[in-house]
């Protein structure tokens, strides 16, 4: 379960794209959040698809926000969405009602419209699966890449690590957490993290200010998100682990289940590479918008991610990071 390894993506997916189209500015590429297609008249279409496969409760809400996040980190406001909803054959009307209500609510909150998609009952599913496509239009060259980071940039992170993962753990593993002694109040507060998964607001603020790179850390969490930026930008990121903010609820849930909060679904936090001269202005504008931010490191020449730990030890990440939530689901299914 989880992401296909990068080596297989590059061997079997990224090289098999059908007819090459000169209008495609950014197509399938490791770490890049959304495709960018030239429309003419100085406009580009930004489009992205993302599945929700590791959540049950709140899947409709997450599907809208996660897909729209990946358009927003291009510096582009999402406008249209198309959900493909695959329902388990025994899902029933109430499940479909809940999912579509969540999609409608999230779409209204962000300001996007459902313009199509597909819904069906699918055999051999034990939970609903949703694949969401989001789109937006921008001025040509008025967009941000994952791979735009430069040596000397500061690494800015908004909010806290594992916001999406925390919400999923609290909602889908509630009984297991309570059985292991986590208090009801902590589980309840953690379940509310689902309302924080959108980064559209902060992404558009930073794009307006002028950043070199932005990325939405999803599967693999903050560490995978950092690695994808480093890999896409051909740079090295030096990260001070003790500066990465982790909410108390996240720490408690992850400790209870033996998970690393830096390695579980990270949507809700935005990673940005920004020139040092713009950091203070960026943090001030984010604060005015009610968004916390932290400088967690810097970029330099090299490759991969170097984690600088409080005890003076160093860890290097030179390959993709497996999501701990995926590992948890796999362990439960095998058990």
In angstroms, rounded to a whole number, what is the distance separating the alpha carbons of residues 11 and 20? 17
β partners of residue 157: 271, 294
What pLDDT was estimated at residue 158?
A: 98
Contacts of 139 (CB under 8 A, 6+ apart): 42, 43, 44
Tokens of 281: 């202005």
128 alpha carbon, distance to own chain's centre:
20
In angstroms, rounded to a whole number, what is the distance separating the alpha carbons of residues 128 and 137? 30
DSSP assignment letter at 194? G
**What's the average pLDDT block by block, 10 residues per block, for the chain (335 residues)?**
81 94 94 94 96 85 97 97 95 93 98 97 92 95 93 98 96 94 97 97 96 95 96 97 98 96 96 98 98 98 95 91 82 58
Domains with residue ranges and CATH for the chain: 6-139 (3.30.1330.10), 146-334 (3.90.650.10)
Q: What is the DSSP string of 18-73?
A: SS--TTEEE-S-TT--SEEEEEETTEEEEEEEEEE-S-STTHHHHHHHHHHHHHHT
Pick from 277, 264, 157, 288: nearest CA to 214: 157
Q: Taking a C-beta distance cutoff of 8 angstroms, is the pair 164, 62 a contact?
A: yes
In angstroms, rounded to a whole number, what is the distance separating the alpha carbons of residues 308 and 240? 5
In angstroms, rounded to a whole number, what is the distance separating the alpha carbons of residues 179 and 182? 7
Pick from 78, 71, 77: nearest CA to 36: 71
For the full predicted model, state whether its pTM sits above 0.85. Answer: yes
Contacts of 332 (CB under 8 A, 6+ apart): none
Contacts of 293 (CB under 8 A, 6+ apart): 156, 157, 158, 159, 202, 282, 283, 286, 287
Contacts of 97 (CB under 8 A, 6+ apart): none
In angstroms, rounded to a whole number, what is the distance separating the alpha carbons of residues 108 and 303? 41
277 alpha carbon, distance to own chain's centre:
27
Q: Taking a C-beta distance cutoff of 8 angstroms, is the pair 189, 203 a contact?
A: no
β partners of residue 131: 51, 84
**SS3 call for 172:** helix
In angstroms, rounded to a whole number, what is the distance separating the alpha carbons of residues 302 and 236? 5
């Amino acid at each position: 379960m989880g992401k296909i390894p990068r080596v297989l993506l590059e061997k079997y997916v990224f090289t098999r794209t059908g007819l090459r189209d000169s209008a495609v500015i950014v197509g399938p590429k490791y770490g890049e959040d959304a495709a960018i297609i030239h429309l003419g008249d100085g406009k580009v279409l930004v489009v992205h698809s993302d599945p929700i496969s590791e959540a049950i409760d709140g899947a409709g809400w997450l599907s809208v926000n996660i897909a729209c996040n990946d358009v927003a980190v291009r510096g582009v406001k999402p406008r249209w969405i198309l959900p493909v909803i695959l329902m388990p054959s025994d899902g029933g009307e109430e499940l479909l009602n809940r999912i579509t209500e969540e999609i409608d609510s999230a779409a209204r909150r962000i300001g996007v419209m459902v313009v199509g998609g597909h819904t069906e009952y699918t055999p051999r599913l034990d939970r609903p699966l949703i694949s969401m496509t989001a789109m937006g239009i921008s001025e040509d060259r008025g967009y941000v890449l994952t791979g735009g980071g430069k040596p000397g940039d500061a690494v800015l992170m908004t909010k806290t690590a594992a916001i999406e993962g925390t919400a999923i753990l609290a909602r889908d593993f509630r009984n297991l957490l309570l059985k292991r002694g986590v208090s009801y109040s902590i589980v309840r507060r953690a379940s509310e993290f689902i309302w924080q998964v959108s980064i559209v607001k902060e992404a558009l603020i930073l794009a307006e200010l002028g950043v070199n790179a932005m990325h939405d850390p999803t599967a693999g969490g903050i560490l995978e998100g950092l690695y994808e930026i480093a890999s896409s930008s051909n740079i090295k990121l030096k990260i001070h682990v003790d500066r990465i903010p982790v909410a108390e609820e996240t720490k408690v849930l992850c400790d209870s289940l033996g998970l690393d909060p830096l390695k579980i679904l990270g949507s809700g936090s935005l990673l940005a590479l920004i020139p040092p001269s713009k950091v203070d202005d960026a943090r001030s504008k984010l604060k005015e918008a009610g968004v916390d931010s932290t400088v967690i490191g810097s970029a330099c020449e090299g490759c991969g991610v170097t984690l600088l730990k409080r005890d003076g030890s160093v860890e290097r990440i030179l390959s993709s990071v497996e999501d701990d939530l995926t590992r948890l689901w796999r362990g439960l299914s095998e058990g």
